[in-house]
Chain A
Amino acid sequence: MGELTATNLFESQTILADHKDLIHDVAYDFYGERMATCSSDQYVKVWDSDGNGGWRLTASWKAHHGSVWKVTWAHPEFGQVIATCSFDRTAAIWEEVGDTAASGSEKGLRTWLKRSNLVDSRTSVTDVKFGPKHLGLLLVTCSADGIIRIYEAPDVMNLAQWTLQHEIPTKVSISCLSWNPSLSRVVHPPMLAVGSDEPNTTNAVATVQGDKTTACNGKVFIYEYSESSRRWTRTDCLSSVQEPVNDIAFAPNLGRSFHLLAVATKDVRIIKIEPVAESAGSGNNGAAVRFKCEVVAAFEEHYSCVWRVCWNLTGTLLASSGDDCAVRLWKMQYLNQWKCVAVFKNEPVPGDSPPLSRPHTTYIRMATMANPSHMPFH
């Protein structure tokens, strides 16, 4: 790691979230001006940027009857809409009502209404994501019993009506999913990646091998939608990922010829998925290989289980966080080498110490950058 110098500091700000249990997800909206958090305390909170670096709580409500695992924003074209999913086996769609430009009620709080409750799952709903905007208003959920469900709001003005379009059984527990965000309708058909946290027991291997479609021990599966058959089919299984997967994220693809997929498993992985040209494949969709997959990076620096991965807007910078409570930033360097460019260490409190007396004002503290020369602006 490079030297640490005092001039290369990231400003860090603690936000007093006041959730009563662990926060499981944080999501910025399309513009990065609003932020939603969700927690095991069954609450969802929405924070708005004041434009000067401060964040103000503008909504907080009990969204579910169980831990809320994920929260995600719809494209602003569809309004101020978020979706949540929970241990209580449901996913919900929420819309902010009233004039979003107004400053809200006297307490500064805005109202979010539950527009729809998706109750098809019989087990915990582990992830929820809106589809790329150009496909319409789509929502995909996945559940611990391994069923991927794709919903569509046929009328984007009516968020109360969602039709279950596809139900895809995967036969393994699914923990996370990611839409391929590619904007190109022509080149890239709708694509989903899902990650499984199924433990590697001998039993599980046996059942997987018994099934032809899952004859791969990988934990990451690629599904693609075929316009002609109107079905989602598993087109690939990434055999390079064999350990349970906690999070998965496609890099935004603003014009690349290939896709980058980040996987949080026992390490941080970046996998390059390159569509193989139609002519190069074996013609018809028989045993054609759709992709050339290559692990371009695997980092073990967290020395522990990696929980989350997240890309920046252009897919050039990856953030990961693991059990070491550090966030690491990874960036592609010379000759397609990915390197750690920064580490933000959030010092955990030892387990047996008494609860912290929380500061009642936000404070600034500085985090050091591991490798300043590799930061984008240096």
Chain B
Amino acid sequence: MIPSNTICVSQEGPANALALNKDCSQVVIAGRNVFKVFSIGENDFSEVCNLRVGKNLNLNFSSIDVAWSTIEENTLATAATNGAVVVWNLGRSGRSKQEHVFSDHKRTVNKVSFHLTEPALLISGSQDGMMKCFDLRMKEVARTFISNTESIRDVQFSPHQAHTFAAVSENGNVQLWDVRRHERCLMQFTAHSGPVFACDWHPELPWLATASRDKTIKVWDILAKPNLEHTIYTIASVGHVKWRPQKTHQVASCALVLDCAVHVWDVRRPHVPLATFAEHRDVTTAIAWLADPHTFLSTSRDCSLYRHRFSEAAHPVLWANPHGVCLSPRGQLAHAAPERPLPALPARPPRAAPDRLVPGLGRKQPTAGSLSAGAQAALERAFPGGATSTLLRYSAPPHNALLQCAAHYRMRGAPPHVLAGHNANVARANNRHMVSHVWEVVRCVYEARAAGRGSPAPPRTMEPPRPEPPPLPPYTHTYNSAVEEEPLEEVEEWAETQFHNSGVLGKPTLSIYIPPSKPSKHARSLDDENSGWVSAASAHYMEESGEGCEGGLAIRVGDNRSPQLDVAPLLAAALRQHADLGDVQTPAVVMLVLQDHRSDLFPYIEESLQEHWLLGYIELLQRHKLWNIATEGCAHGGHLHHMRAWLQRHQLCPAGCAHRCQLA
């Protein structure tokens, strides 16, 4: 989509160059197959003259560059691919405006440039490594400058010293010459590591900008010794560079390959273009500012000639994300924010809510050219100083119930109800009262089962019921359970000492806060609100299970000899609820603790979900490096208990590497 104030005209062939007449009312474009003069109107280009006429359209018409005399209204010069420099006189009568052909260069002429004060002087730079100064009155070569380089890509007269011109060459050198002295150059320095394709003198300062294949634009102060003032980093070889009039620090550039857009840079912020004009569909071949800083013309290999208004620029900085935020698994928060964010838009008094921030310039710009003049000016002012970010890291006091629980939970070595009782205490000690509540439920249910009173217990070693779970520290009893004993304490201590400084943000605590309370051992009815559930969330999952009342009764089973109720769907719903709340530790560990009783839950929790929980918990522990064992072969780690639990049911490595694992 072309912005409304941009105008465009297409020709039969791509133009390699363009030049403006001295009052910027007309433009000439020249290429291999095109050579035309247009008058620049308010809303369009109108063709004034087609110079590509005549019987003999030879290679003299195939132009690489074109220049328009800054003094003589009607004098043009072109640089031809065959080495000719052709002078044209628009004032000639007849169709052919060709005035004279200089055939002195051996190879393609890359650039022609008129002397800024002497109307008769024209210089050229050629692929043969030479520059020639032509005298248009005498129609002869006045002087030849030998650069001692392979080829000259650009020649430009200095606006500050009448007879000095700069020449840039493919070997990366810049030479300054006095047009009256051809013996040797005034100054020579290496500007770039690759070919230099263009240069441009700053209109006020003694600065020369050079554009190179090394993807940089360099700004040299050449008043005394050449001094590198600024380097602009672009994404592609830079083909052309032009200072923006009246804006000391701004320069426009276009690329030779890859990038079709014209960028305007502020040299004080060398990594991000201030403005971008992306109308061209192929690489831009030439740019020229009209005398003011608000308009410029460009030609492209896509055969078009554009007039761009600066007000219709796109501003990439408005699209770039100025913030970075990351939460670490250890609960730290890193935040990168601009030190000086872009200013707020000029306030629009009507309709803006009084207590609201006016959206800043930092917000995304809907389309190119949608900024108001004031906003664009504000952006231009703030742009060069906006290049710094502050990187901050926030960390909370180390406290992490998840890790404490991970370290102290027991998963094995005792019947489920004993483990559950222990784990309930662990959870309570860490202020995770809802989790503790779940463990209490598990404990009560399986205690009742273990007591063997009317319970269809699965085949396992019966244990004497323990009416009260013993307090911490852990049990000293030996249990005759089917599961082998493990050196638990070592492992847990190790984990405990390792992870003191973990931040709190990573903690998947439950958001519903239950005060430390008596475990709900008595049956309660749902309508008894005041003495009712200590935990709204537990009420929630009771509701989900659709068996709220029975849930209460189920807890009572341990105490009274009520009819046996199936607690499994209730427990399954509770575990799902915990998983949905972001606490995967509880369901995963409950599943492990249940041991053989796990099969009770199978009808309600599909195997894939169980696997998901286990994998999730393993990932959680991995993130905290809470593993203490590596499997043999693939060296993937995992928490010992979980690895063992996994490998009871699976043969492949839980890390997903498809290794057939055995515990080391």
Chain A interfacial positions (CB closer than 8 Å to B): 10-17, 19-28, 30-33, 35, 37, 39-42, 51-53, 55, 65-67, 69, 77, 87-89, 133-134, 182-184, 186-187, 197, 199-201, 203, 244, 246-247, 251, 253-258, 303-305, 307-317, 319-325, 327, 329, 331-335, 344, 346, 348-353, 355-356, 367, 374-377
CA–CA, A246 to B395, complex, Å?
Answer: 26
- Pick the contact of A25: B321, B365, B623, B624 (CB < 8 A): B321
When distances are taken between beta carbons in the complex, the residues of chain A under 8 Å from B636 are 77
Nearest-neighbour CB distance to chain A for B466, whole angstroms, equals: 30
CA–CA, A267 to B339, complex, Å?
Answer: 22
Do residues B620 and A12 form an inter-chain contact, with CB atoms below 8 A?
no
When distances are taken between beta carbons in the complex, the residues of chain B under 8 Å from A65 are 215, 233-236
Do residues A319 and B321 form an inter-chain contact, with CB atoms below 8 A?
no
CA–CA, A246 to B579, complex, Å?
Answer: 29
When distances are taken between beta carbons in the complex, the residues of chain A under 8 Å from B362 are 304-305, 323
When distances are taken between beta carbons in the complex, the residues of chain A under 8 Å from B382 are 351-352
Do residues B356 and A255 form an inter-chain contact, with CB atoms below 8 A?
no
CB-based A-B contact count at 8 angstroms: 322
Nearest-neighbour CB distance to chain B for A134, whole angstroms, equals: 4
A199's nearest neighbour on chain B, judged by CB, is B366
Do residues A255 and B343 form an inter-chain contact, with CB atoms below 8 A?
no
CA–CA, A26 to B389, complex, Å?
Answer: 12
Do residues A258 and B391 form an inter-chain contact, with CB atoms below 8 A?
no
Nearest-neighbour CB distance to chain A for B133, whole angstroms, equals: 38
Do residues A255 and B366 form an inter-chain contact, with CB atoms below 8 A?
no
- Pick the contact of B394: A12, A23, A374 (CB < 8 A): A12
Known: A256-B582, A327-B325. 11 other contacts (CB 8 A): A12-B392, A28-B332, A65-B235, A183-B612, A184-B612, A186-B608, A247-B321, A254-B612, A307-B322, A349-B339, A351-B386
Query: Contacts A184-B611, A376-B505: A37 and B391 contacting too (C-beta < 8 A)?
Result: yes
Q: Does B396 contact A (CB under 8 A)?
A: yes
Nearest-neighbour CB distance to chain A for B459, whole angstroms, equals: 29
Do residues A255 and B584 form an inter-chain contact, with CB atoms below 8 A?
yes
Q: Does B453 contact A (CB under 8 A)?
A: no
Chain B interfacial positions (CB closer than 8 Å to A): 1, 215, 233-236, 258, 269-272, 316, 319-343, 356-357, 359-360, 362-367, 381-382, 385-397, 399, 401-402, 501, 504-509, 511-512, 536-537, 540, 576, 579-584, 587-588, 608-609, 611-613, 615-617, 619-620, 622-625, 636, 655-657
Query: Contacts A32-B328, A257-B580: A15 and B392 contacting too (C-beta < 8 A)?
Result: yes
- Pick the contact of A351: B336, B342, B608, B623 (CB < 8 A): B342
Nearest-neighbour CB distance to chain A for B309, whole angstroms, equals: 19
Nearest-neighbour CB distance to chain A for B360, whole angstroms, equals: 5
Do residues A28 and B328 form an inter-chain contact, with CB atoms below 8 A?
yes
Nearest-neighbour CB distance to chain B for A349, whole angstroms, equals: 5
Do residues A17 and B393 form an inter-chain contact, with CB atoms below 8 A?
no
CA–CA, A187 to B537, complex, Å?
Answer: 26
When distances are taken between beta carbons in the complex, the residues of chain B under 8 Å from A199 are 364-367
Do residues B613 and A255 form an inter-chain contact, with CB atoms below 8 A?
yes
When distances are taken between beta carbons in the complex, the residues of chain B under 8 Å from A374 are 511
Scoring A51, A55, A367, A377 by chain B CB atoms within 10 A of each residue's CB, the highest score goes to A377
Scoring B334, B619, B625 by chain A CB atoms within 10 A of each residue's CB, the highest score goes to B334
Do residues B235 and A323 form an inter-chain contact, with CB atoms below 8 A?
no
Query: Contacts A24-B320, A317-B327, A334-B512: A255 and B1 contacting too (C-beta < 8 A)?
Result: no
Complex A-B, nearest 5 residue pairs according to Cβ-Cβ distance, in ascending order: A254-B616, A32-B328, A314-B508, A23-B336, A26-B324
Do residues B391 and A133 form an inter-chain contact, with CB atoms below 8 A?
no
A-B contacts, 25 listed (Cβ < 8 Å): A22-B322, A23-B391, A28-B328, A28-B332, A42-B271, A51-B501, A55-B393, A66-B235, A133-B656, A183-B612, A197-B319, A199-B366, A254-B613, A257-B579, A303-B357, A312-B505, A316-B509, A323-B359, A323-B363, A324-B357, A333-B511, A346-B390, A349-B340, A351-B340, A374-B511
